[in-house]
Chains A and B, each alone.
Chain A
């Protein structure tokens, strides 16, 4: 998966001007950056929800920037996406929301659909929520249901927009562990946008730090730690720098350990 020389303008505001980056297969890439730097837009470009003004976007080896909705739909069957606000269908129950992709794209029996839905809900720490409507859930529960829906089809590529926002610490750890598990056991390529510094630095195998109109850095957390760039130092702050210093060795040695 790769973006090449991507240019995008919203109205008169340029978001990207010649952005190029690769997302290695079977790895976790964390996209970080300030508000308005275009983190979510990268995910929308990869999902085909946003078309670039120029440049090339390859997803699963296929150029998608010129595809129509029908062709994009084929590509999207290989993707899962967690939206920042969940994007659950508010007229459907939790069970119906999570089951929807299975009902639409597979011929599984009702029992098998129910089994998979419950398995996914349990993996995000939810049970007995089948009949609740999204409006009856707390923010954290809503995001976990959305996460369950994003992974229920076991996609090849998982796009997560701020998966940790609104979650309490135990659930941050749970989602982080689940992401690492999905990457390690199922070989998913995962792209995460996040402001959650500790989780991002802990699980990232590649970090992309965005600033206005482009890249500030692309590399590993260790490379981020080694950077002398003041913009980067400012962004990660003292806490992030201390975290990187503390965890430098394990990060360099291996990426697959469980989060603490």
Chain B
């Protein structure tokens, strides 16, 4: 019994210590944003890696989700004679919920894991130590640009996902199932509020991007410096960030009615 309590205490202490280290790491990233020289070129390169290279995945996934939503919601709404509301249902579900969350999960798998693997392999091959020995802060040079890039890319990708989703549902509802095009667009236009829906959706995706940026860079930066350590850290990024995004989604929805 005593051993069990001791073990529980040790694990709790280790958990709190790890959380403290992540918070300090996050603070160092924020500090690095304001350090000179600015790393705008590196941030843009990282946005290209995590954002532009994820575009095809996001567009294809957004359109596919739109197809499914168009089919499912049209059939459900037509049972109540409310198929004219397809635009409203598709728009609100994509903008408020599915867009930010699915984009968060997709970007986690595509760019978050790549970020962890890249930083982790730099650690394993002593590139981060090499930077330190040149008196260059690896958090300023390597970590901050990638974390900031994920935070910037996420809302942009989420917006693109939503647009492709709405277009996909349009193709199914209007072009395939014969719904009036004007009804679809006007119901969408009338029901979606910029401040309550679009802006809040962007806030959600910015939070998801920041969470992913912090988790992906932290896991890479703190991984054990060998191949297995990098592999473990990459898996851990996908699992931890996915769970955190879902928890944050619930929390934001519950607290602010996003």
Is A38 at the interface (CB under 8 A from chain B)? Answer: no
- Please, how many angstroms separate the alpha-carbon atoms of A81 and B133 in the complex? 7
Provide the residues of chain A in CB contact with B136, threshold 8 Å. 100-101, 104
Provide the residues of chain A in CB contact with B122, threshold 8 Å. 89-90
Per-residue contact bits, chain A 87-124, to B (CB 8 Å; 1 contact, 0 not): 11110000000001100110000000000000000000
Provide the residues of chain B in CB contact with A79, threshold 8 Å. 133
- Binding stretch for chain B, among A70-78, A214-222, A235-243, A247-255: A70-78
Per-residue contact bits, chain B 78-93, to A (CB 8 Å; 1 contact, 0 not): 0000000000000000
Is B132's CB under 8 angstroms from A76's CB? Answer: yes
- Please, how many angstroms separate the alpha-carbon atoms of A149 and B133 in the complex? 11
Provide the residues of chain B in CB contact with A76, threshold 8 Å. 132-135
Q: Which of A190-242 contact B (CB under 8 A)?
A: none
Is A164 at the interface (CB under 8 A from chain B)? Answer: no
Closest B residue to A80 by beta carbon equals B133
Closest A residue to B28 by beta carbon equals A69
Question: Which of B37, B126, B137 has a CB less than 8 Å from the CB of A87?
Answer: B126
- Please, how many angstroms separate the alpha-carbon atoms of A44 and B37 in the complex? 27
- Please, how many angstroms separate the alpha-carbon atoms of A172 and B222 in the complex? 36
Is B224 at the interface (CB under 8 A from chain A)? Answer: no
Q: How many residues of A contact B (CB 8 A)?
A: 26
Is B135's CB under 8 angstroms from A87's CB? Answer: no
- Please, how many angstroms separate the alpha-carbon atoms of A177 and B120 in the complex? 36
Is B125's CB under 8 angstroms from A73's CB? Answer: no
- Please, how many angstroms separate the alpha-carbon atoms of A105 and B135 in the complex? 9
Provide the residues of chain B in CB contact with A16, threshold 8 Å. none
Q: Which of A26-44 contact B (CB under 8 A)?
A: 44
Is B126's CB under 8 angstroms from A83's CB? Answer: yes
Closest B residue to A146 by beta carbon equals B130
Is B137's CB under 8 angstroms from A88's CB? Answer: no
- Please, how many angstroms separate the alpha-carbon atoms of A69 and B136 in the complex? 10
- Please, how many angstroms separate the alpha-carbon atoms of A73 and B139 in the complex? 13
Is A85 at the interface (CB under 8 A from chain B)? Answer: yes
- Please, how many angstroms separate the alpha-carbon atoms of A105 and B37 in the complex? 10
Question: Which of A49, A77, A88, A90 has a CB less than 8 Å from the CB of B135?
Answer: A77
Is B130's CB under 8 angstroms from A83's CB? Answer: yes
Provide the residues of chain A in CB contact with B126, threshold 8 Å. 83-85, 87
- Please, how many angstroms separate the alpha-carbon atoms of A30 and B133 in the complex? 20
Is A87's CB under 8 angstroms from B125's CB? Answer: yes
Is A89's CB under 8 angstroms from B135's CB? Answer: no
Q: How many residues of B contact A (CB 8 A)?
A: 14
Is B127 at the interface (CB under 8 A from chain A)? Answer: yes
- Please, how many angstroms separate the alpha-carbon atoms of A175 and B126 in the complex? 22
- Please, how many angstroms separate the alpha-carbon atoms of A44 and B134 in the complex? 13
- Please, how many angstroms separate the alpha-carbon atoms of A144 and B136 in the complex? 21
Is B133's CB under 8 angstroms from A89's CB? Answer: no
- Please, how many angstroms separate the alpha-carbon atoms of A49 and B127 in the complex? 12
Is B125's CB under 8 angstroms from A100's CB? Answer: no
Is A49's CB under 8 angstroms from B125's CB? Answer: no
Is A163 at the interface (CB under 8 A from chain B)? Answer: no
Is A88's CB under 8 angstroms from B133's CB? Answer: no
Provide the residues of chain B in CB contact with A49, threshold 8 Å. 129, 132-133
- Please, how many angstroms separate the alpha-carbon atoms of A85 and B127 in the complex? 10
Q: How far is the CB of A190 from chain B (nearest CB, A)?
A: 15
Provide the residues of chain B in CB contact with A105, threshold 8 Å. 135
Provide the residues of chain A in CB contact with B132, threshold 8 Å. 47-49, 69, 72-73, 76
Q: How far is the CB of A93 from chain B (nearest CB, A)?
A: 14
Question: Which of A72, A77, A88, A104 has a CB less than 8 Å from the CB of B130?
Answer: A88
Provide the residues of chain B in CB contact with A85, threshold 8 Å. 125-126
Is B137's CB under 8 angstroms from A89's CB? Answer: no
Q: How far is the CB of B88 from chain A (nearest CB, A)?
A: 47
- Please, how many angstroms separate the alpha-carbon atoms of A81 and B134 in the complex? 8
Is A100's CB under 8 angstroms from B134's CB? Answer: yes
- Please, how many angstroms separate the alpha-carbon atoms of A82 and B58 in the complex? 43
Q: How far is the CB of A152 from chain B (nearest CB, A)?
A: 9
Question: Which of A47, A90, A149 has a CB less than 8 Å from the CB of B125?
Answer: A90
Provide the residues of chain A in CB contact with B127, threshold 8 Å. 87-90
- Please, how many angstroms separate the alpha-carbon atoms of A191 and B130 in the complex? 17
Is B133's CB under 8 angstroms from A104's CB? Answer: no
22 chain-A/chain-B pairs, Cβ below 8 angstroms: A49-B133, A69-B132, A69-B137, A73-B135, A74-B135, A76-B132, A76-B134, A77-B135, A79-B133, A80-B133, A83-B126, A83-B133, A84-B126, A85-B125, A85-B126, A89-B130, A90-B122, A101-B134, A101-B136, A104-B37, A104-B136, A153-B134
Binding site for B on A (CB under 8 A): 44, 47-49, 69, 72-74, 76-77, 79-81, 83-85, 87-90, 100-101, 104-105, 149, 153
The 10 A-B pairs with the shortest beta carbon distances in the complex, nearest first, are: A87-B130, A87-B126, A81-B133, A76-B135, A73-B135, A77-B135, A101-B134, A83-B126, A49-B129, A87-B127
